[in-house]
Structure 1
Amino acid sequence: MGKFDSKVVIVTGSSSGIGEATAIAFAKEGANVTVTGRNAERLAGVAEKCRKAGAKVLEIVCELTKFESLELVINKTVEAFGALDILVNNAGSGIMGPVEKMELNEYEELMQLDVRAPIFLCKYALPHLRKTKGCIVNVSSSFSTRAYPGMVVYCLTKAAMDHFTRGLASECVADGIRVNTINPGMVVTRFMDPLLSEQDISNFRKDFSATKQPLGAVPKEEIASGILYLCGATSATGTSLVVDGGLGIE
């Protein structure tokens, strides 16, 4: 038997990276999983891996910057599985470059995906989580407490997510719903593809790890393990679990 046998879990942004690793980890622990993403082919591949681990899986191809998708993800999950126990808000994007060169459409898309989407997914999930005494994990970043040139607005969105998580935890504690964040350091995944070239990613990984993150890039599987830990830690709410490869000791 797995630690999350028959629990119903939503993992957004689960077609690759941290979301993929998290969905598979829950599947291996007996959960029923909803996976979401924009790329149908990659999402189907992740769903198949979850099924091979023994899970029942619901695939939802959607764009979470479209407001109507948010309630749809929650409703379809409850329709398919009859309940909701865990929401993992993992989907996100970033902007690389100075504020002076940022365009309005880039800013709006970032805020819609990194801030608006998790907030309203939580809103629509709460009535169902209240019934199951469930929990929420918001995937933030260790950059939430730091300001890096060229990543200012991304850092802002993650600071907002940390503060939102603490506030929501205080609102939900009486209902038995726990809300936490996990704050990864640099994890090299498809997340960086739209931001940097392949060579830039290689250089960024090497240089950043050497100068800022002494233990190197964090494996996505370790972040997934941290998420599962928070979902099973019945005394943790309103907290941030930092897994940053030593970034915080500089």
Structure 2
Amino acid sequence: MGKFDNKVVIVTGASSGIGASTAITFAREGAKVVVTGRNQERLNETSEKCKAVGAENFQILEVVADLEKFKNLESLVKKTVDKFGGIDILINNAGYARAETIETIELDTYEKIFNANLRAPVFLCKYALPHLKKTKGCVVNVSSCASLTAGPGGVPYSMTKIALDHFTRGFSAECAPFGVRVNCVNPAATDTRFGDNMNVTKEMFEKMLENFMKRQPLGVIKPQQISDAIVFLCQSPVITGINLPIDAGMLNAPAM
């Protein structure tokens, strides 16, 4: 028996990193998992890994979708309910970042960051809520420690994560009367493919990770360490409205 037998879980950004790890963890525990992302090949890889830990074909639904496009948000919820009959858990993990200063950023990039990191989670919550009410389900939003610190080159990204943190707290208060819980995790630097989406070279990204290592006494975080925290929040019946930093000691480390 798994901890999430027959629970229906949507995981956005499930083609790699934290999303893939989270989908696989839920699959291992018996859930029916909807994996969504923009890359079909990588989604297939995630699905195969879900099956490798015990999921049957009928327990996995792949939805290739760009959640920056508004029409895909309600469609994702509809496809999930059409396939599985309901929703128990929503994991808003998909995100987008670019290394831009306020001086260099253009409107299309600004909108892309906000649409992916904030509009998508907000409206997925809106469309999923009627189904979550029926199951007394839960939401976990994946924010970032970037919402808790400030620095050059990532202000728009940080802005979306600060807003996502506050949305989590406010939405949790709206949902509590229905028995629906809403929480958030705030990872520091994590070993994912997130750098692929940033306008930086491999060398620049490696330098960024090196700098993070100096700020994170416990080192760069593994995706499974984030997904373990996500699953914990989904299991607890009395935790709601929190932002949980998973920072490898960064927030308490001396400034460099």
Q: TM-score, normalising length from structure 2?
A: 0.95
Q: How does 1:56-135 map to 2 (within 5 A)?
A: 56-135=59-138
Give the count of matched residue pairs.
249
Q: CA deviation at 1:112?
A: 0.5
Q: CA deviation at 1:53?
A: 2.0
Deviations 1:111-163 (A, max 9, x none): 11001000000000000000000000000011112111111111110000000
Q: How does 1:42-53 map to 2 (within 5 A)?
A: 42-53=42-53
Q: Distance in 2 between matches of 1:244 and 1:19?
A: 18
Q: Are 1:160 and 2:169 an aligned pair?
A: no
Using the TM superposition, name which of 45-54 and 128-137 deviates more: 45-54
Q: Are 1:28 and 2:28 an aligned pair?
A: yes
Q: Distance in 2 between matches of 1:65 and 1:54?
A: 32
Deviations 1:72-126 (A, max 9, x none): 1111111111111000000001121211000110000111100100000000000
Quote the RMSD (CA, aligned, Å).
Answer: 0.9
Q: CA deviation at 1:54?
A: 2.4
Q: Which residue of 2 is the match for residue 241 of structure 1?
A: 244
Q: Are 1:199 and 2:180 an aligned pair?
A: no
Q: Which amino acid aligns with 1:30?
A: G
Q: Which residue of 2 is the match for residue 209 of structure 1?
A: 213
Q: Distance in 2 between matches of 1:150 and 1:59?
A: 34
Q: Are 1:176 and 2:169 an aligned pair?
A: no
Deviations 1:2-31 (A, max 9, x none): 111110000000000100000000001110
Q: Distance in 2 between matches of 1:204 and 1:112?
A: 25
Q: Are 1:39 and 2:43 an aligned pair?
A: no
Percent identity over the alignment?
Answer: 51
Q: Which amino acid aligns with 1:229?
A: F
Q: CA deviation at 1:194?
A: 2.6
Q: Distance in 2 between matches of 1:155 and 1:111?
A: 10
Q: Distance in 2 between matches of 1:241 and 1:233?
A: 14
Deviations 1:206-244 (A, max 9, x none): 12211x111111111000000000000111000011111
Q: Which amino acid aligns with 1:160?
A: A
Q: Distance in 2 between matches of 1:85 and 1:79?
A: 14
Q: Distance in 1 between matches of 2:20 and 2:212?
A: 24
Q: Distance in 2 between matches of 1:11 and 1:221?
A: 14
Q: CA deviation at 1:188?
A: 2.8
Q: Which residue of 2 is the match for residue 6 of structure 1?
A: 6
Q: Distance in 2 between matches of 1:13 and 1:206?
A: 25
Q: Distance in 2 between matches of 1:68 and 1:98?
A: 29
Q: CA deviation at 1:52?
A: 2.3
Q: Distance in 1 between matches of 2:119 and 2:209?
A: 29
Deviations 1:159-190 (A, max 9, x none): 00000000000000000000000010011311
Deviations 1:26-51 (A, max 9, x none): 00111010000101011111011112
